[in-house]
Amino acid sequence: MEGQSIQRIDVTIRLTLGCHSSMCLKLRRTDLHMTTVAYYTIYTLIAIQYFLSFDIIS
């Protein structure tokens, strides 16, 4: 959650500074997409571990 707000501020600063070139926006979009994929992967792994440990306990 904290990382997202920092990223949003970073994007705002970049746009304010006039980084409107398609290359820059494309890079930001790719960066954001990779971050999202990473978060989903981490949460999925945590969920799998949690459910596996829950199964072992019960």
11 sits in which H/E element: helix 2-16
Query: What is residue 46's predicted lDDT score, i.e. its pLDDT?
Result: 87
Encode pLDDT of 7-55 as tens digits. 676 666 666 555 555 556 666 677 777 788 888 898 998 888 888 877 6
Q: Is the pLDDT reported for residue 2 higher than 70?
A: no
pLDDT of amino acid 49? 84
pLDDT score at 13: 62
Domain ranges of the chain: 3-57
Q: Are 28 and 8 in contact (CB under 8 A)?
A: no
